[in-house]
Amino acid sequence: MRTEPSVIERMPRAAAAPDALARRGARDRVVVALARPGVRLALLAALAAASVAVFVFVGIEGSWAFAVPFRLRKVAAMLLVAVAIGVSTVLFQTITGNRILSPAIMGFDALYVLIQTVVVFAFGAGALATTDPNLMWLVEVGAMVVFSGLLFRWVFARSARSVHLLVLVGIVFGVLFRSVSSFMQRMLDPAAFAVLQDSFFASFTGVDETLLGISAVAVVTVTAVAVPLVRRLDVLLLGESHAIGLGVDHRRTVAVVLVLVAVLVSVSTALVGPVAFFGLLVANLAYLVVGSFRHAATLPAAVLLGVICLVGGQFLLEQLGLGTALSVVIEFVGGIVFILMLVRKGVR
């Protein structure tokens, strides 16, 4: 309020009154524009681009020719993880109609851990090091997709077609997978266990770069399948019977989405290890920030927020000299958001 006279003084006197109106109009226009999901997405994109720029270019002390490609590889990995986690969580929440669930609850990442444990258990820690990681990854994705397919057919083939039943079964499987993994890990020799343990600890910086290429292919493929689905996904938000009533093949769409989720979780778990709350954090922030329920807006928003959190967060923590702590910070914040959502809305 106090700045207003000075602003008017700088204007020609005669035009002051209509100008004030025009200014209010302009302010309203800004408010209206800010309410539009497209504008908000553009702002998020700008912020994400800025995070990437500072991460890549700020504070280079040695050779640029070394530092820039080195950092770009890190950024590429974080971008892939942001897409994988953001998209898989939003898709999963849409098909379950529940905003405090994430694929981690379905036991997807637990299965990934189990497969790796079984490999080390059966063939020794050397196997993890000597097998072509791309081949290994493809086998793991295959197993994940088969698992989600079996789960889907087994649960959906029964007359009670309930996504909630599917999720409950997923939780039980998740516990089973985790228990079997930890049982096997207990029986490993300490050296092999250390190798295994290292690959499971969520780390956004120690990304396994050998898998970047194949992860990029997987993420692009999933995106290509998901983009034509966005409007159908919007209808899924109304729940199963409304979706069927509006002509959506609910079963088929849910099956396709589950496969996409399985692939994406494999990507993120392979690159950075299991993360429990990060997806929950970016998905719910996306719903909040973008102000639209449409997947054409929420999916990119979740991805961009993921990029901002990962790249921007990593940059900030490196400035503070806490470069390795990002996963801890993100899981901490994500965990708090999870608890807040539980308290505020109850388990819905």
Q: How far is the CB of 250 from another protein (least distance, A)?
A: 8
Q: Which of 39, 49, 97, 184 binds another protein (CB under 8 A)?
A: 97
Q: Restricting to residues 18-77, name those near another protein by CB under 8 A.
A: none
Nearer to another protein, 36 or 242 (CB): 242
Q: Restricting to residues 277-336, name those near another protein by CB under 8 A.
A: 287, 293
Interface with another protein, residue 231, by CB under 8 A: yes
Q: Which two tokens stand for residue 126?
A: 């050397």
Interface with another protein, residue 245, by CB under 8 A: yes
**DSSP assignment string, 119-167:** HHHHH-HHHHHHS-HHHHHHHHHHHHHHHHHHHHHHHHTSS---HHHHH
Nearer to another protein, 73 or 164 (CB): 164
| N-to-C CA span, the chain | 44
Nearer to another protein, 3 or 159 (CB): 159
- 344 burial (CB, 10 Å; 0-12 / 13-18 / 19+) is exposed
Q: Which of 79, 82, 146, 83 is nearest to 112 (CA)?
A: 146
Interface with another protein, residue 235, by CB under 8 A: yes
Q: Which of 155, 188, 158 is nearest to 172 (CA)?
A: 155
Interface with another protein, residue 246, by CB under 8 A: yes
Interface with another protein, residue 241, by CB under 8 A: yes
Q: How far is the CB of 280 from another protein (least distance, A)?
A: 14
Q: Which of 210, 239, 322, 323 binds another protein (CB under 8 A)?
A: 239
Alpha-carbon distance 220 to 67, whole Å?
A: 26
- Containing 107, the helix (H) or strand (E) segment is none
Q: Which of 132, 159, 187, 321 binds another protein (CB under 8 A)?
A: 159
Q: How far is the CB of 98 from another protein (least distance, A)?
A: 7
Nearer to another protein, 247 or 321 (CB): 247
Q: How far is the CB of 211 from another protein (least distance, A)?
A: 34
Nearer to another protein, 245 or 323 (CB): 245
- HEC string of 35-94 equals HCHHHHHHHHHHHHHHHHHHHHHCCCCCCHHHHHHHHHHHHHHHHHHHHHHHHHHHHHHH
Q: How far is the CB of 254 from another protein (least distance, A)?
A: 13
**DSSP assignment string, 316-346:** HHHHTT-GGGHHHHHHHHHHHHHHHHHHHH-
Neighbours of 69 (CB within 10 A): 11
Q: Identify residue 8 by its one-letter amino acid code.
A: I
Nearer to another protein, 163 or 207 (CB): 163
Interface with another protein, residue 98, by CB under 8 A: yes
Nearer to another protein, 24 or 242 (CB): 242
Asked whether the CA dihedral 247, 251, 256, 262 is positive or negative, the reply is: positive
Interface with another protein, residue 114, by CB under 8 A: no
Q: Which of 93, 269, 284, 314 binds another protein (CB under 8 A)?
A: 93
∠ CA(299), CA(147), CA(77), 5° rounding? 45
Q: How far is the CB of 235 from another protein (least distance, A)?
A: 6
Count the site residues for another protein by CB under 8 A.
24
Q: Which residues bind another protein (CB under 8 A)?
A: 93, 97-99, 159, 231-232, 234-235, 237-242, 244-249, 287, 293, 348
